């Protein structure tokens, strides 16, 4: 039986297929139904929400910048306002590995407002300025194949470093401040390129590597052995047991031992807090992690370290840490 897949979902195909993480014919009907309810509740609200400049010191914009062909770009609107501060770089993997670079726009605008250049592969497919969407059909027991590949995150880093040599971004990017991050299937992309020696930290949201040999996403065949390539501190942000990526993400956490690793759970399910203002609570955690791990901000570090850390005291979150 074929069923229509509406590409109007606020996180594009990631929402239509529950983030392309573990939602297959083997997923229980209750889990599918729960995720469908989450999608329906946020879809129209998210698409109607205007872009925001973030809450950081450098109001951000979302744009299509010719310096970064094939990507949606998030950056401080006024580069001159950075002064002596140089941009960090976040190569972002979209949910479902879809080519919707606007799928996490509220969170990415929030990150950019703290002095980051964020590159998300694809075009603008969601939000109030997105063009009309088209429908696709898919067999009940299959998932949409990945539209983007891990190489898109490597290329984002390449383009950022090239842009640092001339033009509007010349000298404004710090090549030491590079992160890879992503949501759902995009989180798998971030893990796949985490071994790149240019990467300084990794952020994984609502994702985790499938048990070896079970990946159902065409174009994203990575196994647990990839975790051994991670050489930097890494944080997993999961949506609690309701998150279809929960078991995979928690298993990753248990397996990683060569670098500092943290897992933070907030009980909101697989769709996270992306549709909340400025990306919600999860985006705040991402910003603090980047500020700490890339810029050495010890005020931000208090969110994560010590027995009285910010996440330790926040009843919405449960955390586990190793190697800190």
In tens, the pLDDT along 213-261 reads: 787 777 788 999 999 999 999 999 999 999 999 999 999 999 999 999 9
* Domain count across the chain: 1
Q: Residue 205 has which token pair?
A: 């949201």
Please report the pLDDT score of residue 129 as a whole number: 77
Domain that holds residue 21: 2-322
State the CATH number of the domain containing residue 93. Answer: 3.40.50.1820
Q: Which letter does DSSP use for residue 28 in this model?
A: -
Instruction: List CB contacts of 5: < 8 A, sequence separation 6 or more.
Output: 13, 16, 17, 135, 136, 137, 138, 144
Distances (CA, A) of 318 to 35, 168, 279, 282, 312: 22, 42, 19, 13, 7
Cβ atoms of 105 and 51 within 8 Å: the answer is: yes
Distance CA 166, CA 303 (A): 37
Please report the pLDDT score of residue 24 as a whole number: 45
Please report the pLDDT score of residue 161 as a whole number: 98
Q: Residues in the chain with pLDDT < 70?
A: 1-43, 133-144
Please report the pLDDT score of residue 22 as a whole number: 41
Please report the pLDDT score of residue 39 as a whole number: 66
């Amino acid at each position: 039986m074929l069923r229509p897949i509406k590409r109007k979902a606020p996180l594009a195909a990631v929402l239509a297929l529950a983030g392309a993480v573990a939602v297959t014919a083997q997923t229980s009907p209750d889990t599918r139904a729960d995720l469908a309810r989450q999608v329906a509740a946020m879809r129209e609200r998210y698409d109607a929400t205007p872009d925001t400049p973030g809450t950081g010191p450098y109001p951000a914009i979302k744009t299509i910048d010719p310096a970064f062909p094939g990507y949606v770009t998030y950056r401080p609107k006024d580069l001159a306002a950075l002064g002596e501060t140089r941009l960090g770089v976040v190569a972002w993997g979209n949910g479902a590995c879809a080519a919707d670079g606007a799928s996490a726009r509220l969170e990415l605008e929030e990150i950019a407002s703290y002095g980051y250049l964020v590159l998300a592969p694809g075009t603008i497919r969601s939000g109030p300025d997105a063009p009309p969407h088209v429908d696709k059909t898919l067999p009940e027991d299959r998932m949409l194949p990945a539209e983007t590949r891990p190489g898109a995150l490597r290329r984002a880093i390449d383009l950022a470093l090239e842009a640092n040599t001339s033009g509007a971004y010349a000298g404004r990017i710090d090549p030491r401040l590079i992160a890879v991050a992503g949501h759902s299937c995009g989180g798998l992309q971030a893990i796949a390129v985490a071994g790149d020696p240019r990467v300084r930290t990794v952020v994984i949201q609502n994702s985790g590597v499938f048990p070896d040999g079970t990946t159902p996403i065409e174009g994203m065949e990575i196994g647990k052995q990839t975790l051994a390539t991670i050489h930097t501190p890494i944080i997993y942000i999961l949506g609690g047991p309701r998150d279809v990526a929960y078991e995979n993400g928690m298993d990753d956490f248990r397996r990683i031992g060569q670098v500092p690793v943290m897992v933070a759970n907030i009980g909101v399910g697989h769709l996270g807090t992306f549709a909340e203002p400025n990306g919600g609570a999860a985006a705040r955690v991402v910003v603090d992690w980047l500020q700490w791990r890339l810029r050495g901000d010890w005020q931000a570090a208090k969110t994560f370290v010590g027995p009285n850390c910010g996440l330790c005291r926040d009843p919405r979150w449960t955390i586990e840490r190793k190697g800190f």
